[in-house]
Structure 1
């Protein structure tokens, strides 16, 4: 054995699956893991130039990979009016006022991060912003990015009034006379698209670099961007920023871009997606950037009652309504689209939150398999808030991956006040049924949907294992049987997401020959009681054998 460049010793090693191994060292030479041997053999790997990293009981793990994230939009929002830290409605309004005062030359005030649970019915009104910013248009996305909050100036500029109909894929909250109240759900947010400014390319690029810095500090060494080629929150297609980062050697992580399927269009858009993928392949840098995925938004979200359900939502008195949510893509067209995408060899990534949406997405994967045979598409369904019990076994049968956003699988105000009271009896038990999926053999991946919620994998892993947010005095959402064990949750965020990203041949595991994309977690989460898993923090991130982040405090 030759001397290593870096040697990690003195801690357990999570290899990407199963329980951590004890009493071993991990050697890195160049950008690769070159040896995993018992500590007794470590001396043979230490040379004059070897950097010995003493773990002191911390855990060495493969770098996390986020299988569903919006990093460029998240980074841009950090540079705009950011409401994610607001504790209530008054705090949100005060943040808007402070931002407006600090940025008097901005023609529009843009940003987001407000929480639906801070406002009655989850719908803030325009008058709250008018009171502090009456003279400039303000448009702010909700934290879940399924609704927008606008002031009167923005609404007037967009030409929206009582006569404006709801779009087929969205809803305008209205006052008694039909005038816009200030909140615009789903596709209704698009009513501002013709007047709101797009961010300039340099600003978007700054957003990408800011996001990359934030995510690397959380141990994330690769991700799947869940929306490229479309427009999210007014941020133009992030591919320009990615390509610039690649050209300037600033893209440190590896990125899979999921090309956005325009639900107002049909199969004719697929040819352009294949061409875009081919163009990126021609750059010869698929180790850093690829475009082999198509993202389809099957439905909305439960808190604004646009998630597609098998049963109707209830009203505030517990009576059934005539609303069971929205299927954004006709189920027959969805089957045709997934079949056509699969036939090209590309992957399909579907937002499927309600139980009807999950069924429609699985039906589409089944149709593709019937038409094309088995493939290596590694198609995946994200969010999975409600999955009918009969459908949990279909994931394994269809080789469909369950892409979990585990941070949401806990009681909190938004689900307790804006979702569960409006669902049918028994549906609380079907919330985020991770345990059922595992027992039925589903393959798991994991992601954050940041900036919808925290990007920190350890926050999500804590909830995957406990189903209870730290400090919350409540029982586990959906019951204890939906909990995951820690090694399964860790695997979902490492080897599971690597599989979805078609990068399991060189990332997601600690194995000889694999890229040295590694993180150090302290304390070792496997040594903590379950209720303290969230205390484990990334203290260093290594990308291709080079230190990319070290926590200093």
Structure 2
């Protein structure tokens, strides 16, 4: 009988286990490693900004089946190249994630592209000439539609029907202001829809009048609904063409995803948004005609209808169409003197702006929408309107409990002291449009006074410093879809004709600006799991820019050389 000591027993047992493991694991160690996946596209020799904080810069990137397969240095993608892989050597060009425009009116913008364009008109004579040219080709009784005018471009005087009545005697005319919160009708249009000196202002709107009480032709915010219902219906084919036109324009500017608030503005029929969803977007998706990804928001009063759709489809209808949430209005706009402020307008001492929506109704709708799991977005421009919505957001959170709801305030242009910090504290997203500050810099001083305009206008850096999520957009067609222009506006804040920045302390860095148009914009619409950064597994939407270095992008105006959607070149 052999006796084994404790020490020898331990040694014997350990050796036996090791031998057994070696036998068991031998096949695994000897099995050839599976070859890496072969990429469809490899991007090399680039300066890639990923918008991914864990890995912000890279030299190369691989794409397979429309998604990011790998991001890293030059050598790391070599083993991913195989038969059929397309190699794209960018020779040092800068690459960024596909831009996300957080606030557009896509189909309306596409329609406006082929109507009377008044965006850059700088005088009454030029305004009249543009309308005269449009009327020349119109048959009698056909409406003349268009817009984009900004009265600040010619000194501030508002247009009137009298400007164009003598050249539009046979055609009704409707020309919206650039912000969509005011429009000009000629006298024939006013007569056609029944607006007279006896017509009362609707709630949340104003019929502008002469000192004698006669309508001037200008309708503000909810007053526009008196006329909009009379406009000729736009055909399905026209709207489908508008989507294609708008999408190609967006791709040219490097925009691969838009958050579309539809043909929805004060006075517009809410059904227009739903018609565009079914007749245009769902059709385009099923027909394979979508060119950019879209996240859709719907009028808040239709929240229960959207809930039914969510239950049926979920948030993502496809890789092209996502359901966002619901939107409402708190006030109007600065340019139309209808944004809601605590203090009156300098040029209208009795005017504090308009409360477009009843706050009690708005709170009720917000509570119901949020309780049902819908994201809520509210338009607010004036300081009082923003405080009102921040208060309502707080009330909704208290009523429905804590959760990841991502409330959005659209525009957030003018904030009272302390409001910027509340965005971060309450987790409310600031969906802002940097190019608007270029249009408003001069008029804000005239309408609000220098002190007020300097204290609370376009507080991008203050919002970021308060840990708010800031998402950039254009509000197209109010301003053009132009993310690179928006980045520059946010970083430099130098309006046309100015030498110095408007409130330089509110300038943001290049990194913050890019994030606001990419990963933060994705987060602002619950899309950050799929979009917004060049991270492994996400959809391969990216843009090649004209500059050759990160430093150059910060200092020199860049242009878009190419736009890729799902790893496929979509522009040019």
TM-score (norm 1): 0.90
Aligned to 1:296: 328
CA distance in 2, matches of 1:188, 1:313: 20
Matched, 1:272 2:305: yes
Cα shift readout 1:511-532 (whole Å, capped 9, x = no counterpart): 1111111111111573227553
- Could you say what secondary structure the match of 1:203 adopts? helix
The alpha-carbon distance between structure 1 residues 222 and 105, as it changes in their structure 2 partners (threshold 3 A), is: farther
Q: What SS does structure 2 have at the residue aligned with 1:123?
A: coil
The equivalences for 1:234-313 within 5 A come to 236-237=272-273, 238-239=276-277, 240-261=279-300, 269-278=302-311, 281=314, 285-313=317-345
Structure 1 residues 135 and 20 mapped into 2: Cα distance closer, same or farther (>3 Å)? farther
Distance in structure 2 (CA, Å) of the matches to 1:525 and 1:400: 34
- 1:241-276 deviation digits (Å, cap 9, x = unpaired): 1121112111232222111135xxxxxx43233234
Tell me the residue number matched to 2:369.
Answer: 341
1:303 partner SS: coil
Within 2, Cα distance between the matches of 1:525 and 1:158?
Answer: 57
Structure 1 CA distance, aligned partners of 2:206 and 2:361?
A: 23
1:126 is matched with 161
Is residue 469–residue 524 contact of structure 2 (8 Å, CA) maintained in 1? no
**What residue is the counterpart of 2:498 in the other structure?**
473
The secondary structure found in structure 2 opposite 1:182 is strand
Check whether the contact 1:97–1:132 (CA below 8 A) recurs between aligned residues. Answer: yes
Contact 2:345 2:351 in 1 (8 A): yes
Aligned CA distance change for structure 1 residues 232 and 201 (closer, same or farther; 3 Å): farther
Q: Is the 8 A contact 1:227 1:295 kept in 2?
A: no
CA distance in 2, matches of 1:420, 1:135: 40
Map Cα deviations across residues 64-100 of structure 1 (whole Å, 9 max, x no partner): 1111110100001112222224343322222221122
CA RMSD of aligned residues (A): 2.4
Question: 1:45-444 residue pairs with structure 2 within 5 A?
Answer: 45-104=80-139, 107-118=142-153, 121-227=156-262, 236-237=272-273, 238-239=276-277, 240-261=279-300, 269-278=302-311, 281=314, 285-315=317-347, 321-410=349-438, 412=439, 414-417=440-443, 419-424=444-449, 426-429=451-454, 430-444=456-470
**d(CA) in 2 for partners of 1:459, 1:143:** 18
The answer for the alignment partner of 2:6 in structure 1 is none
Work out whether residues 12 and 20 of structure 1, in 8 Å CA contact, stay in contact via their aligned partners in 2: no
**2 CA distance for matches of 1:120 and 1:170?**
24
Provide closer, same or farther for how the CA distance between residues 64 and 295 of structure 1 changes in structure 2, counting only shifts above 3 A. Answer: same
Give, in whole Å, the separation in 1 of the partners of 2:216 and 2:153.
16
Unaligned runs of 5+ in 2: 1-35
Match of residue 11 from structure 1: 46
- Residue 445 of structure 1 contacts residue 500 of structure 1 at CA under 8 Å; is this kept in 2? yes
Deviation at 1:435, TM superposition (A): 1.0
Conserved? CA contact 1:350–1:382, under 8 Å: yes
Does the 8 Å contact 1:405/1:446 carry over to 2?
yes
> What residue number does 1:266 align with?
none
Distance (whole Å) between structure 1 residues aligned to residue 427 and residue 68 of structure 2: 30
Q: CA deviation at 1:236?
A: 3.3
What is the CA–CA distance in structure 2 between the aligned matches of 1:229 and 1:110, rounded to whole Å? Answer: 17
Correspondence for 2:546 among 522, 534, 538: 522
Following superposition, the deviation at residue 349 of structure 1 comes to 1.0
Please give the TM-score of this superposition, normalised by the length of structure 2: 0.88
Counterpart Cα distance in 2 of 1:323 and 1:306? 8
Q: Deviations over 1:5-53 (max 9, x none)?
A: 1111112111115698556210111211101121123332222322211
Work out whether residues 280 and 291 of structure 1, in 8 Å CA contact, stay in contact via their aligned partners in 2.
no
Q: For 1:462 and 1:169, how far apart are their aligned partners in 2?
A: 35
Q: CA deviation at 1:388?
A: 1.6
1:403-441 alpha-carbon deviations (Å, 9 max, x no partner): 11011223x4x5424x32231552122110111111111
The answer to whether the 8 Å contact 2:221/2:356 transfers is: no
SS at 2:174's partner residue? strand
Deviates more, 1:145-154 or 1:171-180: 171-180
Distance 2:322 2:84 in 1: 35
1:99-156 per-position Cα deviation (integer Å, ceiling 9, x unaligned): 2223437711112111222456442111222232221101111111111111111111
Could you list the per-position Cα deviations for residues 307-359 of structure 1 after superposition, in whole angstroms to 9, with x for gaps in the alignment? Answer: 1112222236xxxx232212222333333322221111100111111111111
Query: What count of residue pairs does the alignment treat as equivalent?
Result: 532
CA pair 496-22 structure 1, distance change in 2 beyond 3 A: closer
Distance 2:227 2:235 in 1: 18
Partner Cα separation in structure 2 for residue 273 and residue 536 of structure 1? 40
Secondary structure of 2:237's counterpart equals helix
| Corresponding position of 1:265 | none
* Mapped contact 2:58–2:71 kept (Cα < 8 A): no
**Greater CA deviation, 109-118 or 13-22?**
13-22
1:260, 1:126 → 2: CA distance?
Answer: 31
Of structures 1 and 2, the larger Rg is shown by: 2
